[in-house]
Every structure is written in structure tokens, then in C-alpha cells.
């Protein structure tokens, strides 16, 4: 099933023409309505007449999270607040949050793109969607909510947390689709197992998981434990929230709703555009948004693009599953390391659980990397004598891939805190000083 065949199955030529028209309209709007953009364009020697098609996109300057923060809270809005009918904000770990505003039309666009996301995941009007993303300033809960209503499914707005109640609701209401972060899905699966809840009393068929990076290993774990298809959905508040891109049933990359958000991939260091299939930083230009349109917004997420049409019939460009962010990269003793690399190594070793914590510290002016990893409960009970050899095995796998020494600590089941929303898997004590 495809939600909007006209937009999702266009020829490349038609898409480029549509993007070009929308882009030049956008540039005209922001030039006259947002002093920040006007100044930046003037500095680059550009006027609205300079941008006529998508080849001109690369002439425009980038926008970053810092630009949004510097103009906190409403400085980049392109319309007066009398036209804005909803605000959301992204929490952010440092400094001020980023505030995003939606007009009535923006909310309609948001419902449309989330309806596409859900249809991509095989969700239909007969489904019962349990939304366990947080409701509030975070875009996850309300974003999925209105998309679910748009397709006519039965929306169950539980919000995050209270795991026992989540499961009770799944059983009583016959929930068929679960929407939450992958880390919470994993926690729910674990809870069902531990409480010895009969898996058949839960009728889940599909999960729409996103808001944080997750690997193929985690996907396999969730799919087998919950006996569902786990679909990756991507988005960010600044661009709209969930609904930016989603996997279809083929799970071969995430279709980007590029009639609304033009993606580009750039080298995060030189800022030069990269070609198809090259991995780099994802950049978006929102060509239909009214409240807070963004030009060449640097997401910091790392991925690549594939323009080949998909087996599902959609021609929308696909982005590879995002495994990390350029600002997630840890530099430990000069070596660039991504948390996702550590996660893959840990999960390839059978006896460990997908729960780990990476701790970086500086001792005597030297960076030290410690990895805490949970081990199967059975292992602690039956094979305690083999713990040391398991620890050595993990250490040598990590060290040979990362090229630096790693202190590995095996911990018992449930030692590492579970998360109901986005998980936090890295503690960098060097930054806390």
C-alpha cells in the first residue's frame, strides 16, 4: 500500500521540477520575511532571483543548530506568531532548547508525511497503534498521533513509561502496532520475557521505531523477541519531527519525503557536496514549511543516499539507516570511534546482552575507555568460571577493531539503567570537568 502515489512514485524529472519550483518560492519567502536569511544571502551576494532550480541550492549558505539557538526562541520564524498554532522543542543536552513552530498548514503537512511513514510500515485503518513515544514538547508522541488518525487507524495515546500498564493495554485492546524508541521496544520485550507473560496474549505485528540510532543487531533482537516486523522511522524536530523518512516493508533504506524536504549529503569537514552512495552528513532544505522553513540545515546525522527506485514502487530517494552522528564521534587518544561500532562488536559476541555503557575518562592526562556490558543471566548462574575468558574475548575484539586499549567490565543483568525514551549510552567524564 502506498499512501500518496502521486507524490511517492513520481519520475525523477517531475520531482526535480517540483523541488525547483518550491525551492524558489521558499527562497523568496525567507528573503523577505526572515532578516537572518536576508543578511546571509546578501553576504553571499545572492538575491531571490539567484535561485531558480535545485542546481542553485548549493549556492545557499548552511543553517546550523547554533543559528537556531542564537535566534532563540522565534527569530527564524517566517511568519508572525499569530499564524503559529503549535510549538515543540528539542531538549538538547547543552544550552537552550531549539524551538520549532507550526502553522495550520504545517500541521497538515506533518500528518501527511507521518501517514506516509505509517503506510510504508504496512499500517492500515484496521490497526490499533499504541503510541509509547513521549507526548509533550518532544515531537514523537503527537507526530505519530496525528499521522495515525489521518490514516484512520485506532490511536492509543499512552505516551512513554509505565511498562506494566503498556503491556496490559496491548493485551486488552489488541494493539497491533507499537510506536516507541528501539531501546524502549527492547525493554518491553525483556519485561514480557521476565514476567513470563504469554507472548500470544500480545498481538503485535509491527513496530515503528526511531528517534535514536539502532543497529541491525538490535533490530534482529527486537524482531525475534516480539515476533514483529521492526521498521526504522527517522525525523528531527527542526525539519518537522517524525515523518521525514521511513523504511518500507523491504527494509532497504528509508524513503525520504523529498517533495517536502530536499536531502543532500556533504563532507562534514570541507562542507563540499558528496555524490550518490558516498557517506557523509545529511542536510535538509524544507521546501513547503511555513512557520519555520530551514535552508540547508545540517543535521549532523551520517548516512548516504540511493536514487534507485525501490521494489515497493516508491521512487523517493532512500537514505541508509543512520548509524551515528558526526558529533557522536568520540575522539579517544586521537582515534575516532563511534558508539555504533562498539555496539556491533558487542552484539556479535553471543553471550552478551544489548545493554552497555561506554565511559570515557581522563586519568593522568590520558584518555581511558571503559565498556560495561551485561551478560546473559544464565552465564552468571552456570558458567561463572568462564567469565574471565569471556571478558578477554570481548576485550580483544574491541581492541583489535578500535586500535586502543579498552577496559571491559562484565555486569549482571539489569545493572545498566533502561530507558523509556532515547537511551544514553555514552558518559564522557572528560567533558564534565
Are 239 and 110 a contacting pair, CB within 8 Å?
A: no
What DSSP character marks residue 355? Answer: E
Taking CB positions, which residue lies at the least distance from ligand DLL?
210
Q: How far apart are CA 374 and CA 356, in angstroms?
A: 6
Are 8 and 15 a contacting pair, CB within 8 Å?
A: no
299 binds ligand DLL (CB under 6 A): yes
Grid cell listed for 394: 570481548
232 binds ligand DLL (CB under 6 A): yes
Q: How far apart are CA 216 and CA 230, in angstroms?
A: 10
- The residue among 79 and 319 lying less far from ligand DLL, judged by its C-beta, is 319
The span of 13-21, 236-244, 270-278, 408-416 binding ligand DLL (CB under 6 A) equals 236-244
Nearest distance from C-beta of residue 240 to ligand DLL, angstroms: 9
Which residue in the set 226, 236, 248, 294 belongs to the binding site for ligand DLL (CB under 6 A)? 236
Which residue in the set 190, 290, 301, 420 belongs to the binding site for ligand DLL (CB under 6 A)? 301
Q: How far apart are CA 133 and CA 258, in angstroms?
A: 25
Are 289 and 352 a contacting pair, CB within 8 Å?
A: no
The residue written with cell numbers 532571483 in the block is 49
- The residue among 266 and 394 lying less far from ligand DLL, judged by its C-beta, is 266
Alpha carbon of 262 to those of 25, 161, 257, 314, 386: distances in Å? 14, 35, 8, 16, 52
What DSSP character marks residue 269? Answer: T
265 binds ligand DLL (CB under 6 A): no
Peptide bond into 73 cis (omega under 30): yes
Site for ligand DLL in 199-228 (CB under 6 A): 210-213
How many residues touch ligand DLL (CB under 6 A)? Answer: 22
Q: How far apart are CA 65 and CA 97, in angstroms?
A: 10
Which residue in the set 65, 318, 325, 355 belongs to the binding site for ligand DLL (CB under 6 A)? 325
What order do you get walking across the sheet with 324-325 strand by strand?
261-266, 280-286, 297-303, 324-325
- The residue among 325 and 353 lying less far from ligand DLL, judged by its C-beta, is 325
SS3 218: helix
133 binds ligand DLL (CB under 6 A): yes
Are 111 and 145 a contacting pair, CB within 8 Å?
A: no
127 binds ligand DLL (CB under 6 A): no
90 binds ligand DLL (CB under 6 A): yes
Which residue in the set 235, 263, 268, 421 belongs to the binding site for ligand DLL (CB under 6 A)? 235
Q: What track of x and - describes contact with ligand DLL for positions 135 through 164 (by CB under 6 A)? A: ---xxx--x---------------------
187 binds ligand DLL (CB under 6 A): no
Nearest distance from C-beta of residue 329 to ligand DLL, angstroms: 13
Which residue in the set 20, 241, 263, 291 belongs to the binding site for ligand DLL (CB under 6 A)? 241
Which residue in the set 234, 261, 284, 356 belongs to the binding site for ligand DLL (CB under 6 A)? 234
Rg of the chain over Cα atoms, rounded to whole angstroms, equals 23
242 binds ligand DLL (CB under 6 A): yes
Which residues sit at the interface with ligand DLL, rule CB under 6 A? Answer: 90, 133, 138-140, 143, 210-213, 232-237, 241-242, 299, 301, 322, 325
Amino acid at each position: 500500500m502506498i499512501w500518496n502515489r502521486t507524490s511517492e512514485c513520481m519520475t525523477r524529472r517531475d520531482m526535480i521540477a517540483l523541488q525547483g519550483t518550491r525551492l524558489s518560492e521558499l527562497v523568496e519567502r525567507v528573503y523577505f520575511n526572515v532578516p537572518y536569511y536576508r543578511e546571509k544571502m546578501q553576504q553571499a551576494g545572492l538575491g531571490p532571483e539567484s535561485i531558480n532550480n535545485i542546481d542553485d541550492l548549493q549556492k545557499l549558505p548552511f543553517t546550523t543548530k547554533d543559528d537556531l539557538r542564537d535566534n532563540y526562541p522565534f527569530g527564524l520564524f517566517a511568519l508572525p506568531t499569530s499564524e503559529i498554532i503549535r510549538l515543540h522543542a528539542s531538549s538538547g543536552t547543552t544550552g537552550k532548547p531549539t524551538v520549532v513552530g507550526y502553522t495550520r498548514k504545517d500541521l497538515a503537512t506533518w500528518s501527511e508525511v507521518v501517514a506516509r511513514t505509517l503506510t510504508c510500515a504496512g499500517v492500515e485503518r484496521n490497526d490499533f497503534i499504541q503510541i509509547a513515544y513521549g507526548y509533550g514538547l518532544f515531537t514523537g508522541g503527537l507526530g505519530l498521533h496525528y499521522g495515525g488518525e489521518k490514516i484512520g487507524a485506532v490511536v492509543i495515546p499512552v505516551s512513554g513509561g509505565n511498562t506494566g500498564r503498556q503491556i496490559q493495554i496491548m493485551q486488552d485492546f489488541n494493539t497491533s502496532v507499537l510506536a516507541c524508541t528501539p531501546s524502549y521496544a527492547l525493554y518491553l520485550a525483556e519485561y514480557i520475557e521476565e514476567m513470563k507473560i504469554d507472548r500470544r496474549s500480545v498481538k503485535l505485528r509491527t513496530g515503528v521505531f526511531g528517534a535514536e540510532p539502532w543497529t541491525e543487531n538490535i533490530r534482529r533482537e527486537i524482531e525475534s523477541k516480539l515476533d514483529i516486523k521492526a521498521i526504522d522511522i527517522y525525523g528531527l524536530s527542526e525539519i518537522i519531527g517524525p515523518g521525514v523518512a521511513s523504511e518500507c516493508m523491504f527494509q532497504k533504506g528509508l524513503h525520504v519525503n523529498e517533495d517536502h524536504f530536499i536531502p543532500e549529503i556533504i563532507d562534514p569537514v570541507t562542507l563540499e557536496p558528496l555524490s550518490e552512495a558516498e557517506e557523509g552528513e545529511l542536510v535538509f532544505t524544507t521546501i513547503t514549511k511555513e512557520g519555520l522553513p530551514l535552508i540547508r540545515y545540517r543535521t549532523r546525522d551520517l548516512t548516504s543516499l540511493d536514487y534507485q527506485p525501490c521494489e515497493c514502487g516508491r521512487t523517493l530517494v532512500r537514505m541508509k539507516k543512520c548509524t551515528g552522528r558526526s558529533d557522536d564521534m568520540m575522539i579517544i587518544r586521537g582515534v575516532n570511534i563511534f558508539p555504533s561500532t562498539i555496539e556491533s562488536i558487542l552484539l556479535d559476541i553471543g553471550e552478551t546482552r544489548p545493554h552497555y555503557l561506554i565511559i570515557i575518562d581522563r586519568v593522568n592526562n590520558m584518555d581511558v575507555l571503559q565498556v560495561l556490558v551485561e551478560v546473559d543471566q544464565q552465564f552468571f548462574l552456570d558458567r561463572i568460571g568462564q567469565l574471565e575468558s569471556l571478558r578477554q574475548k570481548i576485550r580483544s575484539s574491541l581492541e583489535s577493531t578500535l586500535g586502543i586499549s579498552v577496559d571491559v567490565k562484565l555486569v549482571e543483568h539489569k545493572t545498566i539503567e533502561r530507558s523509556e525514551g532515547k537511551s544514553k549510552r555514552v558518559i564522557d567524564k572528560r567533558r564534565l570537568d
